[in-house]
């Protein structure tokens, strides 16, 4: 009986156990409907090829845990998305308390804290995270800036890099790009077109110190001045505390090239001196300061980046004062030598004159911040580097590979800015354990793996990476800018992917104890900012790809929040039609800067302000105040419709006299300034908008000059800059879409300032051609003849060129933007001559449906201003490559525009492809014009190219051809003399090949106006 009862009890227990097991066992079919509904809900959030399913489920009484596919975390989730997904699950399982998981996190943990805080309706609950106090120290601070920044990126240190770069392939035994040449660029250079001209200046304008593991300077010359080189430009002036050699090694440059493992920062010595305080300089026993000087022998006038180096010691000063003297200017910098020793530390980029001995870098041992001190502090001095230079790291095959022949080490032969981080980091003093993870076996791997290691050494020992030995720079975050592959045959966009890494070396924490999920937040903010801004300004259907948690070295290895951006597809024609446009690059770069700013603001719980946009409608006119000539500058701030905080509060006005450098600027509160000027000098001005978040990009440059003996406005010339265009190259595609590409022979486009992304023209236009190798990449394949060169773009400084020529003839001149003329801020009738610089201004449109037309040569308002001036009897000079073709063959052609050209400017259009050579010659004419001139029709680094000048024909009885293009004898210029006078050139005057030609042609025009 007892045995039967025991058997019944055991059987019952087994039954209950099996029942419980059945209740908790996962049945995929039971969860397929909820998975499908969630998948359909998520699909519109991003262009992700992810199969969303319920991979597991666990029931514990009334509690239900649902485990979705881990890649659900690729979606950018917000609180409303999470709520909606929970609501979907609750409809399927109404009697359960549900928790939903994906990729090891609860779904609500994947929702962005930043966007929760931006939503006024959302709960302000945040997941508890350990926070590290923001660093208030900065490695470099310019003390001569006339303004401060309080809500930007001041005291921030950012590690930033663009993808790839030249490396040595040990298999093929050659230097090569890591990607193939497509659409006139290569990824290794293409991403530089965002980082160098846009992202880095934006971050620095917000107050950040930016570090790059690749050379940032495009200057091919490099001058090293070092204490170890006798008669090399290094000198000392020793005061009370004398300079002496340090106890350990420093930099020397004894070799022309360096082999693997050779470190120039261990080949020499450094100098050291005790720091003086202010108290030391006072009283009867006052001490004198010691100064180290680095005077470069600059081989060519131009802009050179300046890098200093020093030794960090236990008693190093936190305030080493450097003065950089350059062409007619100087800047002072305070460098914290308690960090960053033993590598190149960037100060800035400056204009240096060839061979001048009055320029260089000066370091004092006086700490201007230190009133008195009982501690002994020291300042150290090592080499100073001017310019980027050419690659000097020689590579060969690892000896262990035992080839049947010897490969002598050799350098890339390219400018250093084209090379990857593997070689730059060696030249910058980092150990081979940083730049060669593979121990000299695989340079490709070494290059991408070096970047995260570099971040950790750079930040090691700081508050951001306390347990890692390194240079003690408190790096706040790192950012890797890449582009991706992938292609569509239509106008579909591949779009923007962002990558972060949740786990590194088995840990989900940074060395500070902060969660590595911060990187997801960082990635989400930046990706959202990029996509939202592009959709609002360029392409409303720009594709947002995933928010990937993947184990990529560049996002996994850094011990600080790190992301890797795959911005667009360099292989996809539709992407690259946007990607070559400088306005597009500016917008994307600004989005990245804003994303970083907002992430750090959220992370540290501090307010932010976005730096303003550049000003517009700039004008510089002369006025008199008693006997004093003055320039009145006026401009208009630009509101950013995407950023309410990006409002200009003040402005910085910069002045340049003659051909010198711009000064350090003065701050003004209103959008105007009045500046005294003297005669026989040319004054140039630019303006930047300012707020608590930082400084905008500068305006165009305007110039004024009062000729010797002239007074304001008497015979003055008004120079109107109508050339503000920037654009990518011309593009096309056949109706059947079998042929497509960029057609630079028609128009290379106009870079912003310069272009360092161009490799050569596209030569393969057949879309069916597939990639075979990087040397045979199929569709979009491009030449390599310009891959080591920089191409000049619109430098926004042409009123100076024209004005200088007029001033030589005794004319005073002023200048204004076309925007200021159209806004009515300038009266052309006040001036004897109006010179309209049109350059390569032309109606421009990215060749995708729905894109707006920009950069019209003669907007209606400008046509009216010129017509009114002509009616008042003015003298008009117009020059530009599209002044006719834009009115007859542009995107928006009107009868009114043609009538303006014929009735006011007295020409009609003949041909836009008027000449393939660059010569114009005078022909018999009633006005006495004479001469032969040559304009630039080749890519170079000095002045923009004119590929296709305009042919212009006389359109009135008293209008005549005055110059022709030899060979086909198409009319190149037309002059008219009647109730007013006008001269129109189908090529830009500023592109003539020497100043003497510009002077001559301007003189011809002035003589015509005077007769």
Q: What is the mean pLDDT of residues 787-815?
A: 98
At 127 the pLDDT is 43
Q: Whole-angstrom Cα distance, residue 653 to residue 689?
A: 9
List the structure tokens of 39.
């998948």
pLDDT score for 375:
86
Whole-angstrom distance, CA of residue 589 vs CA of residue 567: 11
pLDDT at 122: 55
Distance CA 72, CA 38 (A): 10
Higher pLDDT, 967 or 127: 967
Q: Taking residues 730-756, what's their average pLDDT?
A: 95
Q: What is the pLDDT of residues 82-99, one digit of tens each?
A: 999 999 999 999 999 999
Work out the pLDDT band at 769, boundaries 50, 70, 90: very high
Instruction: Give the mean pLDDT of 721-726.
Output: 99
Structure confidence at residue 6 (pLDDT): 45
So what's the pLDDT on residue 115?
94
Contact 788, 828 (CB under 8 A): no
d(CA 112, CA 354): 54
Q: Is the pLDDT of residue 502 over 70?
A: yes
Q: Give SS3 for 445.
A: helix
Question: How far apart, in whole angstroms, are the C-alpha atoms of residue 285 and residue 281?
Answer: 8
Cβ of 223: how many Cβ atoms within 10 Å? Answer: 21
Split at pLDDT 50, 70, 90, the class of 10 is very low
CATH architecture, range 223-386? Sandwich (2.60)
Angstrom distances, CA of residue 634 to CA of 625, 668, 808, 820:
17, 12, 26, 9
Q: Answer yes or no: are the C-beta atoms of 170 and 401 closer than 8 Å.
A: yes
* Predicted confidence band of residue 627 (pLDDT cuts 50, 70, 90): confident
**Cα(778)–Cα(182) distance, rounded to whole angstroms?**
9
Rounded distance, CA 30 to CA 24, Å? 12
Cβ atoms of 759 and 782 within 8 Å: the answer is yes
Q: What is the b/e burial string over 753-766, where b = at least 16 CB atoms within 10 angstroms of the residue's CB?
A: ebbbbbbbbbeebe
Tokens of 159: 């590690």
- Residue 280's pLDDT is 81
Per-residue pLDDT band at 314 (split at 50, 70, 90) = very high
Above pLDDT 90, what percent of the chain?
Answer: 89
Mean pLDDT of all residues in 409-413: 98
Q: What is the mean pLDDT of the chain?
A: 94
Pairing of strands 174-176, 682-691: unpaired
**Cα–Cα dist 177/771, whole Å:** 16
Residue 1011, exposed/middle/buried by CB under 10 A (0-12, 13-18, 19+)? exposed
**What's the pLDDT score for residue 16?**
40
Q: Say which DSSP state 150 is in.
A: S
| Percentage of the residues of the chain whose pLDDT score is greater than 70 | 95
The pLDDT, as a whole number, for residue 649 is 98
How is residue 274 written in tokens?
């005790």
Pick the CATH number of 24-111 from 3.40.50, 3.30.300, 1.20.1050, 1.10.3470: 3.30.300
Which run of H or of E encompasses 530?
Answer: helix 518-537
- pLDDT of residue 129 exceeding 70, the answer is no
In order of 336, 863, 894, 914, 951, the CA distances from 910 in angstroms are 63, 20, 17, 8, 5
DSSP 190-224: HTHHHIIIIIHHHHHHTT-EEE-SS-----S--EE
- CATH code 3.30.300 region(s) in the chain: 24-111
pLDDT at 282: 82
Distance CA 645, CA 641 (A): 10
Closest to 719 in 3D by CA, of 875, 908, 927: 875
For residue 385, what is the enclosing H or E element? strand 384-386
Q: Is the pLDDT of residue 809 over 50?
A: yes
List all residues 6 or more positions away from 929 whose beta carbon is below 8 Å from its beta carbon. 922, 962, 963, 973, 975, 1004, 1008
pLDDT score, position 371:
76
DSSP string, 900-963: HIIIII-EEEEESS--SS-EEEE---TT----EEEB--S--SSS---SSPPEEEE-STTEEEEE
Query: What is the chain's Cα-based Rg?
Result: 32
Which is it for strands 97-102 and 185-186: parallel, antiparallel or unpaired?
A: unpaired
Q: Where are the beta strands (DSSP E) in 570-701?
A: 616-625, 628-636, 650-657, 666-668, 672-676, 682-691, 694-695
Judge: domain 715-726+796-1010, CATH 3.40.50.880.
yes
Say whether domain 157-217+393-604 belongs to CATH 3.40.50.300: no
pLDDT-derived band of residue 18, with 50, 70 and 90 as boundaries?
A: very low
User: Is residue 125 pLDDT above 80, yes or no?
Assistant: no
The pLDDT assigned to 131 comes to 55
**Where are the CATH 3.40.630.40 domain residues in the chain?**
157-217+393-604
d(CA 600, CA 594): 10
Task: Name the architecture of domain 609-709.
Answer: Sandwich (2.60)
**pLDDT band at residue 751 using 50, 70 and 90 as cut-offs:** very high
Predicted local distance difference test score (pLDDT) of residue 121? 62
Domain with CATH 2.60.120 in the chain: 223-386
Average pLDDT over residues 493-521: 97
| pLDDT surpasses 60 at 661 | yes
Please state whether the predicted TM-score (pTM) of the whole model is above 0.85. Answer: yes
Tens digit of pLDDT for each residue in 885-918? Answer: 999 999 999 999 999 999 999 999 999 999 999 9
- pLDDT tens per residue, range 256-300: 999 999 999 999 999 999 999 988 888 777 889 999 999 999 999
């Amino acid at each position: 009986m007892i045995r039967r009862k025991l058997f019944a009890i055991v059987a019952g227990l087994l039954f209950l156990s099996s029942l419980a097991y059945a209740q908790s066992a996962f049945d995929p079919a039971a969860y397929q409907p909820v998975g499908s509904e969630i998948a359909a809900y998520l699909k519109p959030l991003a262009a992700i090829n992810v199969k969303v399913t319920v991979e597991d489920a666990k029931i514990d009484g009334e509690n239900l845990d649902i485990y979705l596919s881990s890649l659900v975390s690729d979606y950018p989730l917000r609180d409303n998305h999470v709520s909606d997904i929970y609501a979907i699950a609750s409809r399927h399982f109404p009697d359960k308390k549900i928790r939903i998981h994906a990729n090891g996190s609860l779904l609500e943990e994947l929702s962005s804290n930043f966007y929760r805080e931006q939503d006024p309706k959302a709960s302000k609950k945040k997941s508890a995270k350990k926070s590290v106090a923001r660093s208030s120290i900065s490695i470099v601070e310019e003390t001569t800036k006339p303004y401060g920044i309080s809500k930007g990126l001041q005291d921030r240190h950012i590690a930033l890099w663009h993808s790839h770069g030249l490396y040595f392939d040990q298999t093929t035994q050659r230097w090569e790009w890591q990607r193939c040449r497509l659409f006139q660029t290569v990824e290794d250079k293409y991403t530089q077109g965002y980082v160098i001209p846009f992202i880095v200046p934006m971050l620095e304008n917000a107050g950040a110190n930016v570090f790059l593991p690749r050379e940032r300077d495009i200057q091919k010359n490099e001058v090293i001045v070092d204490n170890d080189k006798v008669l090399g430009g290094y000198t000392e002036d020793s005061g009370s505390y004398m300079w002496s050699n340090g106890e350990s090694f420093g930099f020397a440059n004894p070799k022309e090239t360096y082999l693997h493992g050779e470190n120039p920062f261990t080949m020499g010595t450094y100098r050291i001196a005790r720091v003086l305080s202010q108290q030391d300089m006072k009283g009867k026993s006052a001490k004198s300061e010691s100064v180290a000087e680095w005077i470069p022998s600059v081989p060519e006038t131009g802009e050179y980046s300046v890098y200093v180096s020093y030794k960090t010691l236990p008693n190093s000063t936190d305030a080493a004062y450097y003065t950089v003297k350059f062409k007619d200017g100087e800047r002072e910098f305070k460098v914290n030598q308690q960090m960053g020793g033993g590598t190149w530390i960037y100060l800035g980029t400056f204009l240096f004159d060839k061979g001048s001995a009055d320029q260089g870098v000066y370091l004092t041992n006086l700490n201007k911040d230190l009133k008195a001190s009982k501690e002994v502090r020291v300042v150290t001095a090592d080499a100073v580097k001017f310019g980027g230079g050419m690659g000097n790291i020689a590579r060969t095959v690892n000896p262990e590979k035992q080839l049947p022949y010897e490969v002598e080490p050799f350098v890339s032969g390219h400018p250093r800015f084209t090379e990857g981080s593997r070689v730059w980091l060696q030249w910058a003093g980092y150990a081979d354990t940083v730049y060669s993870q593979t121990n000299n076996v695989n340079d490709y791997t070494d290059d991408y793996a070096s970047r995260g290691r570099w971040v950790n050494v750079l930040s090691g020992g700081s508050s951001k990476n306390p347990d890692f030995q390194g240079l003690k720079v408190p790096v706040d975050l790192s950012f890797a800018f890449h582009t991706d592959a992938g292609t569509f045959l239509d106008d579909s966009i591949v779009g923007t992917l962002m990558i972060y890494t949740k786990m590194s070396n088995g840990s989900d924490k940074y060395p500070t104890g902060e969660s590595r999920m911060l990187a997801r937040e960082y990635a989400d903010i930046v990706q959202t900012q990029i996509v939202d801004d592009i959709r609002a300004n360029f392409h409303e259907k720009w594709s947002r790809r995933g928010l990937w948690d993947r184990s990529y070295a560049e996002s996994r290895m850094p011990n600080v929040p790190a992301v890797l951006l795959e911005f667009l597809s360099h292989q996809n024609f539709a992407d690259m039609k946007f990607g070559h446009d400088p306005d597009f690059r500016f917008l994307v770069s600004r989005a990245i800067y804003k994303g970083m700013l907002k992430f750090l603001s959220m992370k540290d719980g501090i307010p932010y302000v976005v730096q303003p946009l550049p000003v517009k409608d700039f004008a510089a006119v002369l006025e008199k105040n008693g006997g004093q000539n003055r320039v009145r500058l006026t401009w208009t701030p630009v509101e950013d419709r995407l950023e309410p905080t990006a409002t200009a509060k003040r402005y910085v006005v910069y002045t340049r006299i003659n051909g010198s450098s711009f000064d350090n600027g003065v701050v003004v509160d209103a959008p105007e300034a009045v500046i005294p000027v003297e005669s026989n000098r040319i004054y140039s001005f630019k303006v930047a908008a300012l707020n608590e978040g930082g400084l905008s990009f500068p305006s165009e440059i305007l110039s004024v000059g009062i000729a010797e003996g002239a007074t304001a406005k008497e015979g003055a010339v008004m120079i109107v800059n109508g050339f503000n265009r920037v654009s990518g190259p011309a593009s096309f595609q056949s109706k059947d879409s079998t042929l497509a590409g960029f057609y630079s022979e028609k128009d290379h486009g106009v870079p912003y300032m310069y272009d360092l992304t161009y490799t050569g023209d596209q030569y393969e236009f057949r879309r069916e051609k597939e990639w075979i190798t990087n040397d045979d990449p199929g569709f979009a394949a491009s030449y390599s003849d310009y891959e080591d060169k920089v191409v000049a773009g619109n430098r926004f400084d042409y009123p100076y060129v024209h004005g200088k020529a007029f001033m030589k003839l005794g004319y005073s001149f002023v200048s204004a933007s076309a925007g200021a003329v159209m806004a009515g801020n300038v009266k052309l009738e006040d001036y004897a001559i109006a010179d309209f610089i049109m350059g390569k201004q032309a109606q421009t449109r990215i060749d995708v449906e729905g894109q707006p037309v920009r950069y019209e040569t003669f907007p209606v308002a400008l046509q009216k201003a010129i017509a009114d001036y002509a009616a008042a009897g003015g003298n008009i000079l117009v020059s530009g490559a599209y002044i006719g073709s834009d009115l007859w063959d542009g995107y928006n052609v009107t009868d009114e525009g043609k009538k303006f050209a014929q009735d006011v400017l007295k020409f009609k259009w003949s041909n836009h492809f008027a000449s393939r050579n660059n010569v114009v010659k005078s022909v018999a004419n009633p006005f006495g014009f004479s001469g032969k001139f040559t304009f630039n029709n080749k890519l170079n680094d000095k002045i923009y190219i004119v590929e296709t000048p305009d042919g212009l024909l006389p359109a009135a009885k008293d209008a005549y051809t005055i110059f022709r293009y030899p060979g086909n004898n198409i009319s190149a210029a037309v002059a008219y003399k009647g109730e007013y006078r006008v001269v129109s050139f189908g090529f830009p005057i500023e592109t003539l090949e020497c100043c003497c030609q510009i002077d001559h042609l301007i003189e011809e025009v002035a003589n015509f106006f005077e007769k």
